[in-house]
Amino acid sequence: MSDNIQQLREYSTRLIRMGESVSLLFWDQQTYMPTGAANVRAEQIAVMSEFIHKQRTSDEAHKLLVNAEADAKSFDPDSDDARLVAQTRRHYDLMTKLPSEFVAELSRQQALGHEVWVQARKENSFAKFAPTLERIFDLTRQKAEYYGYKDHIYTALLDEYETGTTYTDVVNVFSEMKPYAVALAHAIAASTNPVDSSPIIGEFDIPTQRALTLQVVKQLGFDFNRGRQDEAAHPFCSNASRDDVRLTTRFDRTYLQQALYASLHEAGHGMYEQGSPERLEGTILAGGTSLGVHESQSRLWENLVGRSRSFSKWVFPIVKDHFPQLKNTDAEGFYRAVNKVEPSFIRVEADEVTYNLHILLRFEMECELLTGKLAFKDVPEAWNAKMTEYLGITPSTDSEGCLQDVHWSEGLIGYFPTYTLGNLISAQLFHALRREHPNIEADFETGNFAPVLSWLRENVHSHGAKFLPHEVVLKATGEPLNSKYYVDYLNTKFGDIYAL
């Protein structure tokens, strides 16, 4: 390693360690922090974040980067060091493209926006939120102009979350998927073989649920020596290095599926972080490469593994040990119950079939709002029309419609498609995995998840954030991202369950 690379790396490691401390402040805020500490916690996070941002855009940072770039010219462009320099340049450019007054104004509006959204949602009044939303979209449009783009304004926003993926990529994905998803949802609605979800509805003691989720997450391969699981209102996974990965889950006393599958989902994120290679630790190449690839890991474990028939054969006896009231059902009944498809208003509660239609709706509306095709006052009407068209149901209130998600109020625009990309990637990865391990599902029946984890470690986790999302997908599966495998997966699985 050249001295210049070494210096760049050391400078950046210090800031990464401080950033990890900020992650811990966030984690604590959502798990153990006393409520009275909310204001001072916001200050602590703001002070640290501002300091880190200043250091990452400082003259010193720039000088270290320029020196390292001079050295990197002679490196293999796929070497760790060349990628480290290139990624640092990308981050530096992104951060310095926005004038600092603009960053401050955006943060201010996001913080205010969140509060207005909370209130508007409580009062079930989109009208209260509309002016704020318009201001946030104005600033977001301005942000995209600062970043710059070639094809479509949406690409500039998406690039922050899923680097290298364009507006056109997302349009193509949805135009391939949408007809199949809509057709499948309609076929299921008309099925004569409906799913009974009553076995997983009832009274499920929370400490017992906790024990169950811990046992299952451990068996998947999540390393509790380098991580833990706690409770939070909105489940998330946070990490302060590969050696300190924190899962959270949420318990519903009346609905067994909630905590179990939220735990599988977050464990998928967590195992990705734990699998980041040691040699990249403390650099910007450590950890997951994008939101989409991250979501592919969580969805793969939650759905491709966790909602498979063979997984049910393993997990059901364990579930029954914890909750003897399930004695009148069996593994197949459990499998069907956790796979019930039903159009619903709330995205985060949606099943695998309808989920991506919720995302499509948001993607289309974001594009229309950004390009001025849709007026802000008309958001509820447009939302409800799309819900009716795609899912056949119509929200009766703004809260169960266009006010349900936190994202827009916080300026997270261009973010939603990564959820669908994650679903697609999960199926494409699983297909590639099965090419190598044709009988992988037989392992699930005995609770042996090591082959899946090893394969993901080797083909996804071991890259850390060194490669861009589309590079990871290509390396792991041998072809570019496409929706074929996900559509096939849904058709096969739900065609069987619903006897279509």
37 binding a second copy? (CB under 8 A)? yes
Residue closer to a second copy (CB basis): 340 or 457: 457
The site string for a second copy over 45-64 (x = CB under 8 A, - otherwise) reads --xx--x-------------
187 binding a second copy? (CB under 8 A)? no
Q: How far is the CB of 275 from a second copy (least distance, A)?
A: 14
Residues 270-289 that bind a second copy (CB under 8 A): 282
Residue closer to a second copy (CB basis): 134 or 223: 223
* Catalytic position from the list 266, 273, 295, 366: 266
Residue closer to a second copy (CB basis): 24 or 171: 24
224 binding a second copy? (CB under 8 A)? yes
Residues 284-343 that bind a second copy (CB under 8 A): none
Q: How far is the CB of 215 from a second copy (least distance, A)?
A: 17
Residue closer to a second copy (CB basis): 17 or 186: 17
The site string for a second copy over 243-272 (x = CB under 8 A, - otherwise) reads xxx---------------------------
Residue closer to a second copy (CB basis): 113 or 270: 270
- Choose which of 2, 7, 18, 344 interacts with a second copy (CB under 8 A): 18
Size of the site for a second copy (CB under 8 A): 36
**3-class secondary structure per residue, the chain:** CCHHHHHHHHHHHHHHHHHHHHHHHHHHHHHCCCHHHHHHHHHHHHHHHHHHHHHHCCHHHHHHHHHHHHHHCCCCCCCHHHHHHHHHHHHHHHHHHCCHHHHHHHHHHHHHHHHHHHHHHHCCCHHHHHHHHHHHHHHHHHHHHHHCCCCCHHHHHHHHHCCCCCHHHHHHHHHHHHHHHHHHHHHHHCCCCCCCCHHHECCCCHHHHHHHHHHHHHHHCCCHHHEEEEECCCCCEEECCCCCEEEEECCCCCEHHHHHHHHHHHHHHHHHHHCCCHHHCCCCCCCCCCHHHHHHHHHHHHHHHCCCHHHHHHHHHHHHHHCHHHHHCCHHHHHHHCCCCCCCCCHHHCCHHHHHHHHHHHHHHHHHHHCCCCCHHHHHHHHHHHHHHHHCCCCCCCCCCCCCCCCHHHCCCCCCHHHHHHHHHHHHHHHHHHHHCCCHHHHHHCCCCHHHHHHHHHHCHHHCCCCCHHHHHHHHHCCCCCCHHHHHHHHHHHHHHCCC
Segment contacting a second copy by CB under 8 A, of 31-39, 190-198, 387-395, 403-411: 31-39
Active site residue 203: no
34 binding a second copy? (CB under 8 A)? yes
Any idea which residues carry the catalytic annotation? 266
Binding residues vs a second copy (CB under 8 A): 14, 17-18, 20-22, 24-25, 28, 32-37, 39-41, 43-44, 47-48, 51, 223-228, 230, 240-241, 243-245, 282
